[in-house]
Structure 1
């Protein structure tokens, strides 16, 4: 009889993750149902408390036996997206359906276009819609992939690799759109979709509004930033329309499949013996969106780079991105026009507003000290008092304030605040 064992840190054992569920997962992973005998299942938390807002992540070890063979085991990552009324934006943005389609249909086709020389995401073994939206992936940690530090920001070497892989991802999506013109019609919703931001009392809009209000309060106290503070105040009076416009499709722009939530925790790196990054794989495609590559590029720049890299290496990173994008499109040989470097710069400039959103709407959470994130979860953020206190705490971050002192004048010069 197979047993399920939970680590003590699993406060509420997920009842839907039972023996029958893992039997089906294992059969899919092994590609056989003949003689597979489940012996034990061990479930522990797969991410630190406060590192994931929209899902519960479990790391699962399944021990099994095949006829005539010694006991073996496989590791899986289980992602459960809770059904909570107060966070209706999860349903509004169809995050479960989008992620399932991305892993089942889109990523394998993009990898085939790369002639299987590149992997963009982990293998998906199982999906479950009821009682909770659940996805089961291979555990890439078993293959040596790990997260980098979100608290310090990525250095130049990490960022160059991200630019190369992102360019390949974007280029192959452009090719897939030519081969299957309707494939990305379901990707109109992203983080700043009108559907997710429609309600003043919706969690997403309240979270961004609290962050914007705190940004204005903090910057208003900085000598020399009076003009910028005044512009931020005006910007926040029309915050929803400014947010929606930051993502909305524009005429005559380059269009790619954006990851949509491209920050350090959604990147898994593999290192050589000298601790240099050699490969990376993307995870968490629930907010992917079809649109300008400026969306991913700006979001990544203003959530995940160290301040030193952001100050000094941004042009070089965009050159790296453009070079690999061009090479990939030419190698695909589908007659897709190759954008010039100037066109990429234009896309990034047009979406600086998305970078501004990322800098105050997302980066405060990313830059928060790990010791302060234990109570960060969706349920707590539904409490207005908790949310306001947490936002104040986030904006006290030294890294955040140093970064904003550099980026806000940049956004003003780019015309984002006008």
Structure 2
């Protein structure tokens, strides 16, 4: 989903004095006076998908002192179609409710069994007004956390940290569900309200978008001289992607959220020691392996995934089990069941990687890969699109071969593509 941002300041009008003042007083207390604030962009082109994430520099008065403080602010990014605006508004609403209602309850369950809270930013202010949303979070950069390199593959050390924290995220959601029983579904009903099917226009856009992703994938494979079986297979599933993804998300064992961004904490030698999870716009109930596929298929190189898959899943399972052991409960599944579920849902990871990897590798906005409007079906539009893809691929052959082709090789190994 793309937008027309040129810089963070295009979204500045969404942030008001009363937003900043409320966050400041939540953090520093009522006896503070907001004096000034400004935005400090630390993202790059291609980082702005459905939200803008920026530094928020605040100067405030307390007593006779003037003090500077920094926060992280997440603002709605302007979208160019109503379908996109509806989808983004739904996603922002889900994230706000997650921070306000669900995350505190999940952390409460962890506290009951003597475990630390989840590694997520502290939310100081959350508000949604019509199509605009504002989240103000505590700044973790002062604690030596830094943004993951979003356009390059995660190395094994970062991947392991994320898997461990993701396991705690999933297991705490199941502890909460067990504690609340039948009330859980009704209390957190926003988990079952999807962002991609919030309206009929949104569904139509989503279907059109993924049809376009298939076209993009075929064009990329032709330029890279990929396996012809894969090209034929992609052409056979075109127009069925929505149904396939719906089927992949039927299992509802746990919460699911997209690990699209993250921060990592480092020791004095520069080694990563903690992973902070961010971005909860698509938090939902789903099979927990959908998150594993999003992480491993999109953010990890094909070689590292293939060589370390069982170890990655073992690490995840061990961290998951530690939470249930602390609670004195039996783990709801065995490792071999997790591994089988991961293989059963491989199409989920493939289709999202098909959508996201070319966009990441290109370094461009999503709108440069798929039309911001409903895709035109004309030959002229398709030709222009493919001409644009060809020019982008020309300088990215190596990275696409390392990240894009392996997702289809795995389907060939499983006999799904033949």
Could you tell me whether the CA contact under 8 Å between 2:220 and 2:389 is conserved in 1? no
Partner Cα distance (2:229, 2:223) in 1: 12
Could you tell me whether the CA contact under 8 Å between 2:263 and 2:276 is conserved in 1? yes
Distance of aligned partners of 1:80 and 1:380 in 2 relative to their CA distance in 1, 3 Å threshold: farther
Q: Does 1:25 align with 2:23?
A: yes
SS of the residue 2:135 aligns to: strand
Partner Cα distance (1:111, 1:366) in 2: 33
Structure 2 gap segments, 5+ residues each: 1-5, 376-380
Partner Cα distance (2:289, 2:297) in 1: 12
SS of the residue 1:129 aligns to: strand
SS of the residue 2:320 aligns to: helix
Distance of aligned partners of 1:380 and 1:356 in 2 relative to their CA distance in 1, 3 Å threshold: closer
Could you tell me whether the CA contact under 8 Å between 1:207 and 1:387 is conserved in 2? no
Partner Cα distance (1:287, 1:188) in 2: 10
- Equivalent in the alignment of 1:136: 136
- Equivalent in the alignment of 2:400: 400
TM-score, normalised with respect to structure 2: 0.84
Q: CA RMSD in A?
A: 2.9
Q: Does 1:101 align with 2:91?
A: no
Structural mapping, 1:182-261, within 5 Å: 182=185, 183-190=187-194, 193-195=196-198, 202=205, 204-220=206-222, 225-247=227-249, 249-250=250-251, 255-259=253-257, 261=258
SS of the residue 1:149 aligns to: coil
Please identify runs of 4+ aligned residues in structure 1 that moved more than 6 A: none
Q: How far apart are 1:22 and its partner, in Å?
A: 1.9
SS of the residue 1:280 aligns to: strand
Partner Cα distance (2:199, 2:355) in 1: 14
Distance of aligned partners of 1:380 and 1:43 in 2 relative to their CA distance in 1, 3 Å threshold: farther
Distance of aligned partners of 1:238 and 1:379 in 2 relative to their CA distance in 1, 3 Å threshold: closer
SS of the residue 2:275 aligns to: strand
Q: How far apart are 1:146 and its partner, in Å?
A: 1.1
SS of the residue 2:191 aligns to: coil
Partner Cα distance (1:207, 1:358) in 2: 12
Structural mapping, 1:123-202, within 5 Å: 123-130=122-129, 132-180=132-180, 181-182=184-185, 183-190=187-194, 193-195=196-198, 202=205
Structure 1 gap segments, 5+ residues each: 1-7
Q: Does 1:268 align with 2:263?
A: yes
Could you tell me whether the CA contact under 8 Å between 2:302 and 2:407 is conserved in 1? no
Q: How far apart are 1:29 and its partner, in Å?
A: 1.6
TM-score, normalised with respect to structure 1: 0.84
Could you tell me whether the CA contact under 8 Å between 1:294 and 1:349 is conserved in 2? no
SS of the residue 1:136 aligns to: strand
Partner Cα distance (2:202, 2:124) in 1: 35
Structural mapping, 1:110-125, within 5 Å: 110-115=106-111, 117-125=116-124
Q: How far apart are 1:400 and its partner, in Å?
A: 1.8
Could you tell me whether the CA contact under 8 Å between 1:269 and 1:280 is conserved in 2? yes
- Equivalent in the alignment of 1:67: 63
Distance of aligned partners of 1:153 and 1:236 in 2 relative to their CA distance in 1, 3 Å threshold: same
Could you tell me whether the CA contact under 8 Å between 1:258 and 1:293 is conserved in 2? yes
- Equivalent in the alignment of 1:4: none
Could you tell me whether the CA contact under 8 Å between 1:154 and 1:306 is conserved in 2? yes
Higher helix share: 2
Partner Cα distance (2:285, 2:75) in 1: 25
Partner Cα distance (1:338, 1:408) in 2: 31
- Equivalent in the alignment of 2:288: 293
2:344 to 350, 354, 364: 350
- Equivalent in the alignment of 1:319: 314
Distance of aligned partners of 1:388 and 1:109 in 2 relative to their CA distance in 1, 3 Å threshold: farther
1:332 to 327, 330, 334: 327
Partner Cα distance (1:382, 1:223) in 2: 28
